[in-house]
Amino acid sequence: MDRNIRTVDDVLRLLDGLFTREADRWTADGSSWWDSFYADRTKPVPFFVAKPDENLVSYLDRGLIAPGRALDLGCGPGRNALHLASLGFEVDAVDLSRAAITWAEDRAREAGADVRFHCGDAFILAATELTGPYDLIYDSGCFHHLPPHRRISYLALLDRCLAPGGHLALTCFAAGETGMGSELPDVSFYDRAGLQGGLAYTPESLRWIFSDLTEIELRRMHDEPPESPRFGEPFLWTALFRRTAES
């Protein structure tokens, strides 16, 4: 007989277990799914391109963010981490998948970019290797693969690692017309024990989740043509939030 629930972390781990059957995407148990996903570098996956997100380029071009310390959450093959490093950021980049990190390291060597890559669970590494404070935490597609209860862990990571006055920038699946991701209510993911490919969000839900931060911009990602030097898909939201300087 197990009676081992004593802390919030115990509850979170218990809920994590509901999602391991489909190797859902964020836990260490899901790393093998992502390793398989990244194994074939020639697959026609939109974000396999070696291009930074158009919103990230826009933030930098408009002076909304400036070089400093940056953390790239769910960095994948490293396209945004390398762009930040090329502009003078001191970059840590983390992903669960060893295959993704290896690909990112290969790209960094080819580009001569200095990025510190970490393979593992960012929520665990935030207490050890990813100590911050970071002036920018960038998330291109990690947040929408978290089960609802792990938003608690995500906000705790921001509280621990984001510098006062620092920025959170993210892209995530957009709900509604031309959007992507599941629009089921949170409770349904536990009923079904799966993330249905990822969670869609509305602007109102993002504003509520990140209500402790100040919204700078929230819009659809621009649709970038194949010849563009930037990545852009309109089924995503892009959001930029700032932590108050006093927090």
3-state SS assignment for residue 97: coil
3-state SS assignment for residue 75: coil
pTM for the whole structure = 0.93
d(CA 140, CA 99): 18
Q: What is the mean pLDDT of residues 53-74?
A: 98
3-state SS assignment for residue 23: coil
Q: What is the mean pLDDT of residues 138-160?
A: 96
- Averaged pLDDT of the chain: 92
d(CA 157, CA 27): 15
Percent of the chain with pLDDT over 90: 79
- The answer regarding whether domain 8-40+52-242 maps to CATH 3.40.50.150 reads yes
Structure tokens at 164: 């006062």
pLDDT of residue 193: 74
d(CA 84, CA 67): 8
Segment 9-63, tens digit of pLDDT: 999 988 988 886 544 444 444 456 788 889 899 999 889 999 999 999 999 999 9
d(CA 22, CA 2): 24
Q: What is the mean pLDDT of residues 95-109?
A: 96
pLDDT of residue 20: 67
Evaluated on CA atoms 181, 185, 186, 187, the torsion sign reads: negative
Q: How confident is the model at residue 105 (pLDDT cuts 50, 70, 90)?
A: very high
Segment 181-208, tens digit of pLDDT: 999 999 999 988 788 889 999 999 999 9
Chain CA centroid to CA 96, Å? 11
pLDDT of residue 23: 44
pLDDT higher than 80, residue 238:
yes
Domain boundaries, the chain: 8-40+52-242
pLDDT of residue 18: 84
